[in-house]
A and B are shown apart, each in its own frame.
Chain A
């Protein structure tokens, strides 16, 4: 495969190196000439010392025959333009963009970038999974984030303890479908009585979150006091 990597920062550098090691043909574009020279010294003459946002240089780099273009600069707007130019002007079959502002993901996807990698979102996800607060944990987003799969850890003070899903006042567009009890996941029946320590898995629209929190987690201060 011929992969055109744009952006010779840490990500672009290691990406190019790994791709070469796996036997792919790689061209790396880096507009900073000092950095470009440095990479050339280290991994050979695969570096095009020019701005990968500029149409002329993309053409020179062989963008029109690239199988994949990976835009991994530190600037979202550059990565967007690189992917759009690759896709629409050079007919590249697959474009990948690094996205720093998670809010830009929808726009990028909508404008035809094939794959997005968001370091911010990934780190955020890891942090949220580690924090043992009385919060809801986002496990996954479905579609364009309209529906979410959410985990709620029932702790002392949760209004759901001792009650069954039947008794709970679930918001419209939201349902509880599984429970993890002592490490074992099972489907949640409407009559199952919930216990302290259960992890309840819910699916619902984003806007249901506040109500869901009220039903399953309760008032955070009351929880802390309890």
Chain B
């Protein structure tokens, strides 16, 4: 798969390394070149300095035609914006935004963006470890709603269909 990672922090750099080693084509962006020091020298993907909330930058970085975009910067809103640009402007079929605010994480899943919320993930990891009951905080949430771009596609089914179905004509065009 071609995977774009926005934000080369600990999580960004670790996943970049993992997915690169697993044989995927990885592009990682960060606004600071220093962030790329977290990548191992064996990293074979591309590391590009730039703002992942800017459509032009994403295009120049080669994000067009990517299968996946994961937005992992430290700003919830930057992640939301980057993920939505990926869906709307670049038609990337699978997109995940890291959103640490549980309210926003749940809201954006309903709006059609898959979200991952560190707050919920960690709270529940701790609960499990301590033998306490789980929280109702969001962790990894799949998109339940439709992103606006989905409205233009006239597919019938309502569950999770939009991203994958968008992928089909793209692949056909590129093939």
Please list the residues of chain A having a beta carbon within 8 angstroms of any beta carbon in chain B. Answer: 53-56, 59, 75-78, 80-81, 84-85, 88-89, 101, 103-104, 106-107, 110-112
Contact = CB atoms under 8 A, between A and B. Distances in A.
Given A77-B77, A111-B84, A56 B103 contact: yes
Interface stretch (B32-40, B52-60, B129-137): B52-60
A75 B77 contact: yes
Given A53-B101, A77-B81, A88-B107, 16 more contacts: A53-B77, A54-B103, A55-B102, A55-B103, A75-B77, A76-B53, A77-B78, A78-B77, A80-B80, A81-B76, A81-B77, A81-B80, A81-B104, A84-B107, A101-B54, A111-B148
A80 B104 CA distance: 12
B88 interface: yes
**Contact residue range for chain B?**
20 to 34
A111 B108 CA distance: 12
B78 A85 contact: no
Interface of A is mostly: helix
Contact of A76 (B81, B104, B110): B81
* Secondary structure of the B contact surface, majority rule: helix
Interface string B43-58: 0000000000111100
B85 interface: yes
B89 A54 contact: no
A103 B104 contact: no
Contacts of B1: none
A54 B104 contact: yes
- Per CB-CB distance, the 9 closest pairs between chain A and chain B, nearest first, are A55-B103, A77-B81, A77-B77, A81-B77, A89-B107, A78-B77, A77-B78, A81-B80, A77-B53
